[in-house]
Amino acid sequence: ANIVHPGPVDTDMNPGDGPFAAAQAAMTAVGRFGTAEEVASMVAYLADAEYVTGAEFSVDGGHAA
């Protein structure tokens, strides 16, 4: 199994312009929320990557760095 760890992502439940968004975005290296498309691109890559197993990927704009 592979794991994708998303960081702050602009969604309906966690909007990029919500009351806590500025603080969350400030904690990323890129200074912004991610998009659903950015997380989906990693998931799509992993769905096709037959030789990648047991890996963890952070799609978080440097939030955990």
pLDDT band at residue 65, thresholds of 50, 70 and 90? confident
Question: 3-state class of 8 per DSSP?
Answer: coil
Cα–Cα distance, 14 to 45 (Å, whole number): 25
pLDDT in tens, 7-61: 999 999 999 999 999 999 999 999 999 999 999 999 999 999 999 999 999 999 9
pTM listed for this prediction:
0.89
